[in-house]
Chains A and B, each alone.
Chain A
């Protein structure tokens, strides 16, 4: 641990860090642009300049870039030296030559890293008398706006997009002071993590269009720490609201789960909260099939009256633990099921067993440290998207090892990549179809689901055998790794795939205790509700023909089939949005979305994480657990449901402690959800009434729906947004880390519930039949809630049927013919990457029925004209209307 001296202050540095990281970690404000904690240093912007001294006698020193300076024992630097301060001031002055005076109309304003750095260096006067370079902007899709005039040419966007995220349709064009960052042609950015550009860009070049449509300044936003609802990985987010609408979602740094980045489904999918399909209030269905709105108290009264007899409760893997537990308590444990299909329950049963075992289950950030990865039948990019980004970093292990051997620091990004060239750590993918990660895979095998299982079993055998085969090659790859990782999940709907993967992980662990296994579950709370109960199933419960059924936030018609609820006389549906099940209910109760309710969710790692309510829902919309509590006669805050869960299931102990309860205060103050600069409170409702209403009280949590409260000292689990004096942008997060890229100073949030000590007795595989029709997950289209985010809905593909030419011939169709199933018509896409006899269809609204269909049921549709690009809806190249 070298000690360095900065302005005569002795600082203990960490070997391998660069000087900028050390300075920032020690609370010293040094401005920067192009350095990024996840992407290292390139030395482009020159903003982080300090003075470096050659030896103790050197009093003049010379300018060095702190981001590019390794720390050595005894090295001396100055941040405050006049020459360095003057230089940093000149950097901003020169960046401002071409920067437009856009602040008042620029969306970045108020959380702009350029603004912050300009104030930090003290530049204010303009002396340049020339003209500014201007650019034409490009249409980049419905999610990301483009305003090139604001660019300070820091190169962060292309480094992130190309190098970090593996995208290839965003590039730097031109040179000198006319560099343009964009696509070759206008069009939708095709990388699934493009949305991070809005946070990576330090100015307003790349902005969030889902925010633009109802723009709000950061200081006016009301925010909360939330958990993403779009898949099972449990990425941490900040959700922000104003005037009762979710305005935008930002990444909430978590050193073990999502780091600094989100996927586009999670970032933009929360707009579903604003969907016109929201159920606005309670309704009672009349004989004509229309819903009459009623006051919530009346509706609850009517439901209560039905509870005197046996009631079945169907929970949901997308509802919180609190809501599921409240339902279970209301209807009784024997009458509650978690609402998953039997296949889903079986798959999650395997996941639970693995989580409880002593197999190593790494966190998503830890995945980046594994040097050989086998993906077994899991379409990571479309089903558990954020994991794909981690895998893209993991395959760089070989390059990083090479750099270490050559004495090149890991943060010296360009140098590491130059040594790396195209070398990648092994990534083997077993999948029935082409995979988005193929571009970084060393070995791919197209296999139908049962053949994937067979291959894994062969790999297990090959661990101890010598006969050459594909399985042996894969076994060797895993055996020669220092840290091999098995990745699998529920995307193919195969329990055997999960079992075989777990068996392989166990067998490999015996040879190498550093082996890891990472299993992707299905939905936000699949693991959580499987932990509550995984044995009872809806069909079994409904076979006793109950008169009354309560369905909690679960579209049963779509998930389990519409016939299931046919015999139910009183169908009570509690849900967030209208869907086929809600539309056939007798009484519908309006549930709060994740942004309007506190909730605890358990991710695929078994980590319980608390999501706090961002804002109070409008009107009668109420959190599910409160509705159910009211039906049971108590109004209990979320914390009591957490305690009830923990009391009954020792595994849930961490659910109580993963965030402070509603009693928590910081020296008597609550945690304010709004910033201390939030404006307009007295004017907001002036058109309704000039009297300033009392701010809504939050009885559920220690947060407050106001700017009054503690602004700076909340623990990470309660912190609603990231801000620090002088650091208004997301870059302020470093102030809360114990070191750059490290844990939050208040500790890592979320608690992994499984001790992971059980010995795994191998899984036995039962026979599993798979239809030849295989559903492919789509990052946009396969998630129920995010599908209702207006902008993401435009990116859902049109129905297609992918198959090899041999399969097409057997079905007597050709490329771009129409293939029908009922009233669903799919475009035939001939693709030799698909295993023979398999047909791949997208899991999007309208294709659910295909899950149980046979190939023979598909009929060619006469006279069909294929859309020009079925994988993307008509490629709009502009959003101008005139």
Chain B
């Protein structure tokens, strides 16, 4: 790669992000192997992965933007669009469905005024479907941000999403 002077995209990442990414790299045989770790780290601070974040991570790891975006767009927990303050991951798998999870989901959609993929007008929530959360004995279940909520009913979701 030519090192003709260019804008240094790595300045875009914070020292903290860089430190965490380097820590992942330290036990890997090469830098691009940290691609997913790096995406998750940057997303944990910024909520989503913008094009600028993508460019910066690609440069830091020594890979092309296309290759990194090809990885980012494969994974459903990497967001390449802005999301609300909290992402609701609503389980739409079979055990939750059997427990009327889709009925509860309709209620959520009505309450928030969004469909799957949408973000509320006040930017508080983005609603996304997710595959089985592994909490099937307390179905229906969903995550709001990092927190798991389960045994959902059309009544108790009112309080959860105020």
Contact = CB atoms under 8 A, between A and B. Distances in A.
Interface of A: 162, 168-175, 183-185, 421-422, 434, 438-439, 802, 815, 829-833
For the complex of A and B, 8 pairs with smallest distance between CB atoms: A168-B64, A171-B70, A171-B66, A184-B66, A184-B65, A173-B73, A174-B73, A831-B4
B131 to A, nearest CB: 13
Contacts of B30: 421-422
Nearest to A436: B2
Interface string B51-69: 0001000000001111101
Interface in B104-151: none
A175 B72 CA distance: 11
B66 A183 contact: yes
A63 B3 CA distance: 52
Contacts of B73: 173-175
B64 A173 contact: no
A854 to B, nearest CB: 25
B70 to A, nearest CB: 4
Interface of B: 1-5, 29-30, 54, 63-67, 69-70, 73-74
A175 B66 contact: no
A561 to B, nearest CB: 33
Given A168-B64, A174-B74, A175-B74, A434 B2 contact: yes
A434 B64 CA distance: 19
B70 A829 contact: no
A685 B100 CA distance: 72
A172 B3 contact: no
A831 B2 contact: yes
Contacts of B4: 802, 829-831
A175 B63 CA distance: 20
A830 B74 CA distance: 38
Contacts of A832: 3
Contact of B66 (A169, A174, A422, A802): A169
Contact of A439 (B1, B3, B29): B1
B3 A833 contact: yes
10 contacts: A168-B64, A169-B66, A172-B70, A173-B69, A184-B65, A185-B65, A802-B4, A829-B4, A830-B5, A831-B2
Contact of B29 (A183, A421, A438, A830): A421
Contacts of B2: 434, 831, 833
A168 B67 contact: yes
Contacts of B5: 815, 830
A438 B1 CA distance: 7
Given A168-B66, A829-B4, 13 more contacts: A162-B67, A168-B67, A169-B66, A170-B66, A173-B69, A173-B70, A174-B73, A174-B74, A175-B73, A183-B66, A184-B66, A421-B30, A439-B1
Nearest to A438: B1
A289 to B, nearest CB: 44
Contacts of B29: 421
A439 B63 CA distance: 12
Given A171-B70, A174-B73, A174-B74, A831 B64 contact: no
A184 B68 CA distance: 9
Query: Which among B1, B4, B63, B67 has the highest number of chain A CB atoms within 10 Å?
Result: B4
A184 B74 contact: no
Nearest to A422: B30
Query: Which among B29, B64, B66 has the highest number of chain A CB atoms within 10 Å?
Result: B66
Nearest to B2: A434
B69 A171 contact: yes
Contacts of A831: 2-4
A801 to B, nearest CB: 12
Contacts of A439: 1
A65 B2 CA distance: 43
